[in-house]
Structures are given as C-alpha cells and as structure tokens.
Amino acid sequence: MSKYIYFVQANAIYGEVKKSVYIPYATGCIAAYAFDDEKIKKEYRLGGFVYTRMNLDKATDKITDPYIVAFSCSTWNTEYNRKLSEKIREKYPETIIIFGGHNVTAGTKMLEENSNIDILIHGEGEIVFKNILTALMNNQSLSTVSNISYRDNEKLIDTPREDYCFIDYPSPYTSGIFDDILKDGYDFSVIFETNRGCPNRCAFCDWGKLKSKVRQFSWKKICAELNWFAENKIEYIYCADANFGLFDRDIKIIEEILKYRDATGYPQKFKVNFSKNRQEEIKAVSSLMSKSNLGKSQTLSFQSLNPQVLKNVGRSNLDMEYFNHLVSHYNSEGIRTYSELILGLPGETKDSFSDGINTLLVAGQHKTLNVYPCELLPNSILGSREYVEKFDIKCTDVPFLQYHCKTDDDESGVTEFAVTISSTDSMSFEDMIYSYFFAITVQAMHMLGLTRYIAIYFYNEKNISYKKFYSELIEYSRNSDGFISAIFNKTYNRIKKIYSGELPFAECDTQFGEITYEVDEMLFLRCLYNHDEFMSDLKRFISSLVGCDEETEALLDFQHSVIRHPERSASEIKSDYNFSLYFKNFFAGADLNLSKTPTKTIVKNVELMSWQDYGRFILWFGRHNEKTVLLSEFYEE
C-alpha cells in the first residue's frame, strides 16, 4: 500500500477583488525531485499541498491518512505550521512530521520546543528529503542522512552537515506536480530560479553563512519553465536569484521571456534582485526590461552608508560618484531606480542613518527609497550568539501581517511574528523609533511626492539640506496643533507600538479598501485624503521655516497640483513660474534657470477613481513607476 506524503507551504492571498497566490515552489521542488525516482514513486504517493493560510480544521481535513507531512517554514507561516502540526498529530498520531525552510534553526532547538515535530531539515531540502524517504523505505537509521535533526526515542540526534552542489533538479512546474493546484481558480504568481547560491557574505542574510558557489540551472530547464508560465497564463514572475545580472546569459533570459510574451501575452511582469556588481552589464538588462514594460525599476541598494556598519556586516557599496552617474543614466533612459536601506544594523546611529538618507537624496535618489526594519534571521551570521552579544542586539517579536492582503482571507486565526531588531549598542530603542519615523516621513512625503518638489527647491535655492527639511517637518509636527501634528503623531505612536510588539507594520483602513498597507503608504493616503488641509498646514510650516514670498507661494500651489488625487481630474497645470521645466532639468542634470515665466503643462490620462482603486493601482502597483505624481509620465509642455 502506498504511503501518502503531504506538503504545507502556507502563503498569503494578495489583493482584494482579484486574488493572487504564489504557487508553493519550495515544497514543489522537493516533491518533484523525490518523485522523479521510480523507487520512491512505487513506495509513496503525493497526497497534495496546503498552500494558503486556510482554516486549521479545513487544512487538517484536506490531509487524509498521511504517512509524512512536510512543512516549509518562513517568517509568514512558522506559527501556522506549529498549530497545524499539532492538529495533525492529534488526528494521526503515527504521522511523521518534518519541518524545513529558512526559519528552521540550527541544531535540535525546535525539536526541544515542539514535541510533535519528528525531523528537521537544515539547508537545501531536495536531496535531504529524498534521502529521508529512502532511509525510511529501507528501514535504515536516520543517522545515515546528513543535514537533519531528529528524534530517536527519547534522544535528539543532530547529524553531520554536508554541502550539496547538485543542480540538475527536475522542474516542479513541467513535471506536473502543480497540475491540480492550477484548477483552484486563483490568479497564480510563480517563483523562478535560474541559478542558486550567493558569492557574498552579508551578515544580515541567511545566505551569508553559506557564501556558496553560484550554480546555474540548465538553459533547457529555464526555457521549459518559461513555456509553462506562458501556457498557464502566469502574469507575475518573481525571480529568486540572489544576483540577477551576474551572468552574461541573463539578458538572454529576458529576451526569451519577451518572446513568450509577444506570442502569448504572458508573462507580463518579471521582478528580479539585481547583482550589486557588473553595473555596466546590468544597464543593458534594465534598459530592455524597462522599454518592454517587463520591469520598470533598477535596484541601486546600499543597506547602510555608514562605513563602520558595512564593515560589521560584511558589505560593500557603490562609490557615491558612480551611484550619481548611474542615477543620471537611468533617468535619461526613463528607467526608474530605487534604493534600499536596512534599519537596525550594528554600528548604525540615529545621525548616521538620517545622514545616509540625506546622502542618497543629494546623490539623486528622489523616486523610490525602501527602508526595511532589520529582522534577525535565525540562520544568519547576525543572528548568531557571538554577534548578538558583541553588538548588544535586542529584539522584539513584532506581529506579522502581510502587506496588500485582505485580512479576512487569512482564515487561520494564527499570528506570526517577525523577530525585529529594536536596539543595539549604537542605537537606543527611542532612536530606533525616531529613525524609522524619519524614514517613513521621507518615503511618504518625498518619494511618494507630497513634498518632493518643495524639498528639492529648498535644497537648490535656499541651501536647506534634505535632512534639515524633514527633521524640521517632524519637529514642527511635535510642536504644533494642526493637521500635520495629528497625522504625524498618530503615525509615530503606531511605530512605537510596532517596535514594542503591540502592532504589526501592516495596517488596514477601510476608507481605502479592505487590504493592508505599509506604514509610509498609509501616511501618504491619509495626508492625500485631506490634501487641502495638509497643504494649508504645510504652508504654515514653510512660513515658520523660511517665510513665504511670492515664489514660495507659487511653489506650494505647484506642489499641490502635481499630486495625483483620485477625486480630482486635471488637464493642465498652470503656474506663473516655469517650475515644470525647472524640475525636468533638475532630474536631467541640466541647468535649472528658474524664472517667472507663465507656464501651462498639459496632463494626460488622468481619470477619477475610487480610493480603493487608487490604493491598488496608483499606490500599490504604481509606486515604483511614480504614478502618484502627475509629472512623472503624463505631461508635455
């Protein structure tokens, strides 16, 4: 009689009306490799997948008479896996329960804390899982299987580690593993690997410990999977390569995707993590992706601009002069760029962090900046006891709620937690809260456009640094009693509760629909919802900062008019000054030459819409394409 194996990789359901779910790639890879073996297929049967955070009782009912249930653990599903494994153990006491994935800690700790887990897999799972099946099938001791921890009666055993360099894995897509899932009616997205491994040793990443040789999947497999994506009308591909653009063939992969899209209409979007090296080669890849509307943004990431921080975490950055050159190049090509910073890395201070943001703005990054609170990943160098003690790292278990999801779609009732750094020996808890609030202010006000043009003008014409402008805006919010004070203080207090473990980063406000938004997105939406009141209070702030002459008054009017508002149509933007040309020249690196010249800017393709649609299409889908700003792609003189 065949023994049934079930896999659990519970993912969020994205969207409000159109429901999007990732196909469970990690567990699919493990299943495809195991069931590619005839002996395994003779002994075992694939029972199926639990791949959304469904009600625990429903999930248990979906699993019938299991021999093995294998769970993939990440930040967004580890607690769900624990709860579901308890129910499975209660219903099927003899079932073998296996945990693997990024959130499985080294050693036997998870076995000690969870009596219903039988086996832990450490690291890549394909070969190890198959070896477990083989050992069980042949009545061999699990001690013969490397890279696992397991129970042997009352003893907990940790087997030796072994590095696997195998790459010829079968595709879970083309092997038919997911055929039944495709019938479930979701708008599926996929994870796609063209290679595996990372040559870098960044302390904050759990690839850092490995510093492994990058192994490339075969061209035949890549093309077969792309064909499968096209045939099954997959719109969105997330490429899981750690350093896309590292190899010369990567531009050929983009060309291959475009061939399928031209022929079938699918896939439509391709999201990658670009390599920090080979920037000149990556220019060609980014240009092709942008011009074909396959992907519109180029990553120019830093993590931190503090040299001591970079030394602490084993990271190096682009030279700032070269960064400025790249931003100018991409601007001239019409390619959006975005930069990323991580808040909470050891050695960072309140001042160095805000100085780093100021440096990026001065260097030309005015479009998109993503600041990520640092999570302490269990298998990262940063998560080791040595690093934690050395830098006096303190963490908070922050409730985890996925962005851009309808909370009702999570039927589980289980709260996940992100282990978030809340203080270090160089940044106190209070400084961490302020630093994140400073970042959120810059992201909502500058990157999403609410005060971007004012800040740029003041930097160029009034010699007020970006750091000073946004620091003063925050200070104004603390010492005034207007709209900005109310909305900023509400955001600041929420951040404080987040870092105290009381609230998740994601938040839902039903006036903008029923999906969750990021902290900066929610601040932006609330300011835009009361845009006139916000601008009126902003004028008071500007007056207190520099006064308000005729030119500044005109600038404030211009700033107000260039923000896309769901309830405000616009066909033209008028000003007594040539601000449109001024800012166009600024981003092109040309002479500014501001003058009192009456100007009319024609605005195209601006439609009225609901706040729900605005949040989804303009803010969520469109923020990296600057949809919140009318000047970004809708204007002509």
pLDDT at 473: 98
Q: Is residue 214 part of a domain?
A: yes
Structure tokens belonging to residue 176: 């038919």
Q: Looking at the structure, tell me whether residues 143 and 209 fall in a common domain.
A: no
Confidence check: pLDDT of 282 > 90: no
Distance CA 361, CA 110 (A): 44
Structure tokens belonging to residue 90: 């209660």
Structure tokens belonging to residue 148: 């696992």
Over residues 143-155, the pLDDT tens digits come to: 999 999 999 988 9
Residue pair 87/22 in contact (Cβ under 8 Å)? The answer is no
* Nearest-10 crossing angle of helices 579-588, 320-332: 130
CA distances, 23 to each of 192, 233, 294, 495, 547 (Å): 11, 13, 20, 33, 56
Q: Looking at the structure, tell me whether residues 248 and 328 fall in a common domain.
A: no
Q: Say what percent of the chain tops pLDDT 70.
A: 95
Mean pLDDT to the nearest integer, 406-419: 91
Structure tokens belonging to residue 256: 């291959």
pLDDT at 293: 87
User: How would you class 226 by CB atoms within 10 Å of its CB: exposed for 0-12, middle for 13-18, buried for 19 or more?
Assistant: buried
Residue pair 59/50 in contact (Cβ under 8 Å)? The answer is yes
Q: Is residue 61 part of a domain?
A: yes
Q: Half-sphere exposure of 390 toward its Cβ, with a 13 Å CA cutoff?
A: 12
Mean pLDDT to the nearest integer, 532-551: 96
Band of residue 542 on the pLDDT scale cut at 50, 70, 90: very high
Distance CA 614, CA 5 (A): 44
Q: Looking at the structure, tell me whether residues 306 and 279 fall in a common domain.
A: no
Band of residue 164 on the pLDDT scale cut at 50, 70, 90: confident
Q: Is residue 274 part of a domain?
A: yes
Structure tokens belonging to residue 357: 């943001």
Q: Looking at the structure, tell me whether residues 43 and 119 fall in a common domain.
A: yes
Determine phi and psi for 102, rounding to 5 degrees: -65, -25
Helices (H), 9-48: 25-34, 38-43
Over residues 428-487, the pLDDT tens digits come to: 999 999 999 999 999 999 999 999 999 999 999 999 999 999 999 999 999 999 999 999
Over residues 70-115, the pLDDT tens digits come to: 999 999 999 999 999 999 999 999 999 999 999 999 999 999 999 9
Band of residue 176 on the pLDDT scale cut at 50, 70, 90: very high
pLDDT at 537: 97
Containing 157, the helix (H) or strand (E) segment is: strand 155-158
Residue pair 221/252 in contact (Cβ under 8 Å)? The answer is no
Distance CA 495, CA 435 (A): 10
Q: Is residue 585 part of a domain?
A: no
Q: How far is CA 53 from the centre of its chain?
A: 19
Distance CA 174, CA 8 (A): 20
Strand partners, 236: 269
Q: How many domains does the chain have?
A: 3
pLDDT at 275: 80
Residue pair 39/9 in contact (Cβ under 8 Å)? The answer is no
Distance CA 371, CA 521 (A): 13
Confidence check: pLDDT of 20 > 80: yes
Q: Is residue 258 part of a domain?
A: yes
pTM here is: 0.92
pLDDT at 8: 98
Mean pLDDT to the nearest integer, 369-385: 92
Residue pair 171/3 in contact (Cβ under 8 Å)? The answer is no
Which of 126, 78, 71, 127 minimizes the C-alpha distance to 99? 71
Q: Looking at the structure, tell me whether residues 549 and 471 fall in a common domain.
A: yes
- Residue 585's CB: how many other CB atoms inside 10 A? 15
Which of 484, 453, 511 minimizes the C-alpha distance to 630? 453
Q: Is residue 577 part of a domain?
A: no
Containing 460, the helix (H) or strand (E) segment is: helix 452-461
Over residues 597-631, the pLDDT tens digits come to: 998 888 876 889 999 999 999 999 888 778 899 87
Q: How are strands ordered across the β-sheet holding 236-239?
A: 20-22, 187-192, 236-239, 269-271
Distance CA 391, CA 424 (A): 6
Q: Looking at the structure, tell me whether residues 358 and 483 fall in a common domain.
A: yes
Residue pair 534/527 in contact (Cβ under 8 Å)? The answer is yes
Domain closes at, from 262, 294, 326: 294
Q: Say what percent of the chain tops pLDDT 90.
A: 73
Confidence check: pLDDT of 121 > 80: yes
Band of residue 533 on the pLDDT scale cut at 50, 70, 90: very high
Structure tokens belonging to residue 407: 């909370």
Q: Looking at the structure, tell me whether residues 86 and 63 fall in a common domain.
A: yes
Q: Is residue 41 part of a domain?
A: yes
Q: Is residue 503 part of a domain?
A: yes
Containing 599, the helix (H) or strand (E) segment is: strand 599-603
Q: Looking at the structure, tell me whether residues 509 and 460 fall in a common domain.
A: yes
Domain closes at, from 523, 538, 562: 562
Q: Looking at the structure, tell me whether residues 199 and 101 fall in a common domain.
A: no
Residues contacting 385, CB < 8 A, separation 6+: none
More confident residue, 364 or 236: 236
Distance CA 170, CA 587 (A): 47
Structure tokens belonging to residue 293: 């509307």
Band of residue 589 on the pLDDT scale cut at 50, 70, 90: confident
Distance CA 191, CA 73 (A): 16
Interior angle at CA 475, CA 471 and CA 477, nearest 5: 120
pLDDT at 276: 73
Residue pair 257/225 in contact (Cβ under 8 Å)? The answer is no
Residue pair 377/312 in contact (Cβ under 8 Å)? The answer is no
Q: Half-sphere exposure of 556 toward its Cβ, with a 13 Å CA cutoff?
A: 20
pLDDT at 612: 94
Average pLDDT across the chain, whole number: 91
Residue type (1 letter), 577: Y
Interior angle at CA 387, CA 384 and CA 392, nearest 5: 120
Interior angle at CA 547, CA 542 and CA 551, nearest 5: 90
Q: Looking at the structure, tell me whether residues 109 and 218 fall in a common domain.
A: no
Band of residue 409 on the pLDDT scale cut at 50, 70, 90: confident
User: How would you class 102 by CB atoms within 10 Å of its CB: exposed for 0-12, middle for 13-18, buried for 19 or more?
Assistant: middle
Domain limits for position 210: 193-294
Q: Looking at the structure, tell me whether residues 121 and 143 fall in a common domain.
A: yes
Residues contacting 141, CB < 8 A, separation 6+: 135
Mean pLDDT to the nearest integer, 210-237: 91
State the maximum Cα–Cα separation within the chain, in Å, rounded to a whole number. 86
Band of residue 315 on the pLDDT scale cut at 50, 70, 90: confident
Which of 349, 348, 395, 392 minimizes the C-alpha distance to 375? 395
pLDDT at 36: 96
- Residue 107's CB: how many other CB atoms inside 10 A? 12
Residue pair 387/381 in contact (Cβ under 8 Å)? The answer is yes
User: How would you class 556 by CB atoms within 10 Å of its CB: exposed for 0-12, middle for 13-18, buried for 19 or more?
Assistant: buried
Residue type (1 letter), 267: P
CATH number at residue 120: 3.40.50.280
Domain closes at, from 543, 562, 581: 562
Over residues 485-525, the pLDDT tens digits come to: 999 999 999 999 999 999 999 999 999 999 999 999 999 99
Over residues 23-41, the pLDDT tens digits come to: 999 999 999 999 999 999 9
What is the DSSP code string of 106-141?
Answer: STTHHHHH-TT--EEE-S--HHHHHHHHHHHHTT--
pLDDT at 298: 66
Residue pair 24/9 in contact (Cβ under 8 Å)? The answer is yes
Ramachandran class of 272: left when φ > 0, alpha when ψ lies in -120 to 50, beta otherwise: beta
Q: Looking at the structure, tell me whether residues 206 and 272 fall in a common domain.
A: yes
DSSP state of 22: E
Residues contacting 170, CB < 8 A, separation 6+: 32, 33, 36
pLDDT at 208: 55
Confidence check: pLDDT of 222 > 70: yes
